[in-house]
Structure 1
């Protein structure tokens, strides 16, 4: 699951930006955002004046950042008023303008946190971006973590508990017997999957979780929903849980598709773009931000190699009639 730094349809190699210019533009963006908040203190005013006086590059970057912040505000107002008719002015400067807007968006919303620091602190085991990891637990069970995934282990005298904090994983459970009587339970976003057999997969998504059974059976319990809050899944079956709508109806699942990431592929079958972006973000550095909820709800289908996900994002956005702007390696905005 190594990552190639490519962009566009021609496979052009991405080069790293000039560190000094990147630092200046980031500082200018921070000052522009700060000026849009509470009034500056005396110390901040002196600091800004000194920074601007250091170089003409500082002042030019600051003026550009202020213009971009104003333009981003205009785009946001226009999107609310008429989402289909948003136009970015000065198209000859589209890339630089939109890229700077992406940085400002990330700075103002905290979206540069690709990995949740609270999850990282709570995790007993986690995998890095773009890298899968096999974990062997003390009871003999195994957990295959997909990239950028994390679990916390809560083994007690009564239960072998696992909390899936981020991402997805395949669990191969050591069976009961031979002195092991504790049930094996995985919790993810409010849903609890209790192993009645040996192997199943759990994926945590923003609004809930999905459980797919590979072998034997798994009991899934969650508040509310069409199934009365509890179902037992057989091999090749899946169920989704949504925090707002509860447990959904049991559905057939293609096991090969559900675990394709183990073989270096991602398979999407009518999956919302927002969820697709979250999954792509586990395999590539930098945050993927969807500009509005309507776009995030658009459905995506396709099969993509995990080694070519920069190209995959280009393909997806082109098929949806959307665009992307990026500030490598921080953020890509889809709008």
Structure 2
């Protein structure tokens, strides 16, 4: 084995561990980490060693604190003898804990920034009447900018997340919804769901008729139909069961024959931190599952029990499954 490559893998593994537990890691970071683990066996092995080192940290720190607690006088700089590894790991733990408290102690309640912005935090759902006759149900981690003409709200832009828009039959003015590089035009009495992830999105019609406009192309979406779009184009409308597709409105998530990696990616929207699958075979397993939003904290344990996965719990809600 190339010693230089092994040392480089170890260095990168330590950097990944510190970043994943820093409280600053994003969904994209989680995906990048998963790809890094799958690049070659050295990466996965290096992280496994680093992970085991981290797991040893808990008992070591607890023991050290107990030893300190036995003394009734201040400890001098030389009184406590620690190995170099334990000292380094303890310092890492303290700094990570401070970052996690700062990050997750306040970010769980995201306020409305101003009269033109609506947001929900991780795991939060809201129902808002944005203007007379237009009600928006917002799912977790959703960011909406309201469009105005004078004092009147005339539309909205879904910048991130998922929402259901209800337009009362008596609404007289058009209400336009934008997401990514597309826009939706709907008549009064229409209800539809929209979801936006980066440059991709989807539209699910519940009542009435909705038209998705993207460039010069217009796509009609009828009740119980869904249309997806991305940089690759717009997919044909497909029939969906709204009760399943939008079960989050009942605080339920339903997955029918999906890869576990896709299920985890969706569940990550509902909980702080991330669940990261580091094993390709585990991520490819097909899943039929039903979770309530009250079970989000237990999902890693449920996956561990169902598939025999190994779960490593890190600060800030991060869990590594292998």
TM category (shorter chain) comes to 0.5 to 0.7
Assess, with a 3 A threshold, how the Cα gap between structure 1 residues 249 and 93 changes in structure 2: closer, same or farther. same
Counterpart position of 1:235: 223
The answer to whether the Cα contact below 8 Å between 1:167 and 1:203 also exists between their aligned partners in 2 is yes
CA distance in 2, matches of 1:276, 1:113: 25
Assess, with a 3 A threshold, how the Cα gap between structure 1 residues 322 and 229 changes in structure 2: closer, same or farther. farther
Structure 1 residue corresponding to 2:125, chosen from 121, 126, 132: 132
The answer to whether the Cα contact below 8 Å between 2:229 and 2:235 also exists between their aligned partners in 1 is yes
Counterpart position of 1:165: 159
CA distance in 2, matches of 1:261, 1:331: 23
Counterpart position of 1:286: 273
Matches within 5 A, 1:89-104: 89=49, 95-96=55-56
Matches within 5 A, 1:66-215: 69=14, 79-82=38-41, 86=45, 88-89=48-49, 95-96=55-56, 124-156=117-149, 160-175=154-169, 180-181=172-173, 183-196=174-187, 197-206=189-198, 208-215=200-207
The answer to whether the Cα contact below 8 Å between 1:167 and 1:205 also exists between their aligned partners in 2 is yes
CA distance in 2, matches of 1:207, 1:128: 21
Counterpart position of 1:221: 213
Match of 1:129, SS state, is coil
Segments of 5+ residues of structure 1 without an aligned counterpart are 1-35, 37-64
Counterpart position of 1:331: 318
**TM-superposed deviation, 1:255:** 0.9
CA distance in 1, matches of 2:307, 2:129: 41
Assess, with a 3 A threshold, how the Cα gap between structure 1 residues 247 and 319 changes in structure 2: closer, same or farther. farther
Assess, with a 3 A threshold, how the Cα gap between structure 1 residues 294 and 207 changes in structure 2: closer, same or farther. farther
Segments of 5+ residues of structure 2 without an aligned counterpart are 1-7, 19-33, 59-88
Assess, with a 3 A threshold, how the Cα gap between structure 1 residues 198 and 91 changes in structure 2: closer, same or farther. closer
Q: Normalization by structure 1: what TM-score? A: 0.60
CA distance in 2, matches of 1:77, 1:284: 23
Paired residue total = 255
Asked which structure has the greater RCO (Cα within 8 Å, sep 6+), the reply is 1
Q: Per-residue CA shift, 1:287-306, capped at 9, x if unaligned?
A: 33444888767654321111
Match of 1:281, SS state, is helix
**TM-superposed deviation, 1:191:** 3.0
Q: Per-residue CA shift, 1:226-261, capped at 9, x if unaligned?
A: xx9431111111111122x21112111111012211
Assess, with a 3 A threshold, how the Cα gap between structure 1 residues 125 and 299 changes in structure 2: closer, same or farther. farther
CA distance in 2, matches of 1:334, 1:120: 35
Assess, with a 3 A threshold, how the Cα gap between structure 1 residues 330 and 220 changes in structure 2: closer, same or farther. same
CA distance in 1, matches of 2:130, 2:16: 52
CA distance in 1, matches of 2:177, 2:289: 29
Counterpart position of 2:21: none
CA distance in 2, matches of 1:322, 1:207: 32
Determine if the alignment matches structure 1 residue 311 to structure 2 residue 270: no
Q: Normalization by structure 2: what TM-score? A: 0.62
The answer to whether the Cα contact below 8 Å between 2:185 and 2:211 also exists between their aligned partners in 1 is yes
Assess, with a 3 A threshold, how the Cα gap between structure 1 residues 142 and 67 changes in structure 2: closer, same or farther. closer
CA distance in 2, matches of 1:77, 1:137: 43
**TM-superposed deviation, 1:142:** 0.3
